[in-house]
């Protein structure tokens, strides 16, 4: 039977491998590592990268925490008092060039002392400028990962991502979506080994996908107009993470390390009052594509 220690060790190795691939693709910046401990039990390794050739700021975090499940989480899950163990890897990368997209990934495992367990996670892409060719490439890669395990996964998990990564107060998606899933195991009639195999392939797909975009788009020229738009789109990213993201809330509610939880935020962002892009501009065309249910694949 697959154990939480085996899952934890694989996530640690995933963090190692992704950091190596990103450093190689960036060619300049190196990751800084901080070890931290959670007062209630467990801890993690936060690795951050900054001022690179391609990556302006990013983080690849690993954590394995345990303890008494907070009351608000028990209430949300309709469970009696029980302990928990949670481990996973979470990544956000903010690039220098506005033509390189922001990317986020999270893969995680959660179990309780009452025997309940599940996997969750996903990958989503947030371009500052939506390139249709890049969007198709991204979604086709994710569809292939999903189809290797269950032909129903991509359709379900893409819709879940569209609905989850939606900035309700702006009526726009955070980016072009991707896949998002949660409670696989608690609500999925498959073995832990089968579901972990899927989660591993999702995690392993991250570095090849993002380094492709790094190499492809890093040398595209840009000016002040594109940088200003990048800052505005980063502002939308901040709004989603601080207002709507459940992972941010879970980390803060369980006493996680604040610096590690908020490493997903960009180094700079702008909020211009009532900003509207010019009609038929690249910026306006991007806004038109920040919608749910676009069939990119």
Query: What is the number of domains present in the chain?
Result: 1
Q: Considering the domain boundaries, does residue 259 fall inside one?
A: yes
For residue 84, the model assigns a pLDDT of 92
Q: Is residue 293 part of a domain?
A: no
Question: Model-level pTM greater than 0.75?
Answer: yes
pLDDT of residue 252: 84
- Domain presence at residue 168: yes
Tell me if 101 is assigned to some domain. Answer: yes
The pLDDT, as a whole number, for residue 95 is 98
Q: State residue 135's pLDDT score.
A: 98
**Using N-to-C axis directions, what is the helix angle for 192-217 and 4-26, rounded to 10°?**
10
Q: What is the mean pLDDT of the chain?
A: 94
Q: Is residue 297 in a domain?
A: no
94 in catalytic set: no
Whole-number Å distance between alpha carbons of 232 and 229 = 5
| Angle value at C-alpha 102, between 278 and 195, nearest 5 degrees | 135
pLDDT at position 214 is 98
Q: Is residue 295 part of a domain?
A: no
Cβ-Cβ contacts under 8 Å for 65 (sequence gap 6 or more): 38, 40, 41, 42, 43, 44, 85, 86, 87, 254, 256
- Asked, for residue 294, whether it belongs to a domain, the answer is no
Catalytic position from the list 104, 139, 149, 215: 104
Whole-angstrom distance, CA of residue 150 vs CA of residue 153 = 5
Q: By residue range, what is the domain housing residue 129?
A: 4-288
With the CA atoms of 37, 16, 154 and 187 taken in that order, what torsion angle do they form, in degrees rounded to the nearest 10?
A: -40
Provide the CATH number for the domain around residue 55. Answer: 3.40.1500.10
- pLDDT of 257 reads 82
Residue 46 lies in a domain: yes
Report residue 268 CA to chain centroid gap: 19
Segments in the chain below pLDDT 70: none
């Amino acid at each position: 039977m697959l154990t939480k220690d085996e899952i934890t060790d694989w996530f640690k190795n995933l963090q190692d491998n992704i950091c190596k691939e990103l450093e190689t693709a960036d060619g300049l910046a190196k990751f800084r590592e901080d070890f931290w401990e959670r007062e209630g039990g467990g801890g993690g390794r936060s690795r951050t990268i900054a001022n690179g050739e391609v990556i302006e700021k990013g983080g690849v975090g690993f954590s394995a925490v345990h303890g008494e499940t907070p009351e608000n989480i028990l209430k949300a899950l309709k469970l009696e008092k029980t302990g928990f163990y949670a481990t996973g890897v979470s990544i956000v990368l903010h690039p220098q060039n506005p033509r390189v997209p922001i990317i986020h990934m999270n893969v995680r495992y959660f179990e309780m002392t009452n025997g309940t367990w599940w996997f969750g996670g996903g990958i989503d892409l947030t371009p500052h400028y939506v390139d249709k060719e890049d969007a198709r490439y991204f979604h086709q890669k994710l569809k292939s990962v999903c189809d290797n395990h269950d032909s129903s996964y991509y359709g379900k998990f893409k819709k879940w991502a569209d609905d989850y990564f939606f900035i309700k107060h702006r009526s726009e998606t955070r980016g072009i979506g991707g896949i998002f899933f949660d409670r696989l195991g608690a609500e999925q009639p498959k073995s832990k080994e089968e579901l972990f195999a899927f989660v591993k392939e999702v995690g392993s797909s991250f570095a090849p996908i993002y380094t492709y975009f790094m190499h492809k788009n890093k040398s595209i020229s840009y000016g002040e107009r594109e940088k200003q738009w990048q800052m505005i789109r980063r502002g939308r990213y901040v709004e989603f993470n601080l207002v709507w993201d459940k992972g941010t809330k879970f980390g803060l509610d369980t006493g996680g390390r604040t610096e590690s939880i908020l490493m997903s935020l960009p180094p700079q962002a702008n909020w211009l009052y009532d900003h509207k892009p010019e009609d038929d501009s690249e910026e306006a065309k991007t806004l038109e594509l920040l919608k749910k249910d676009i069939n990119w694949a």
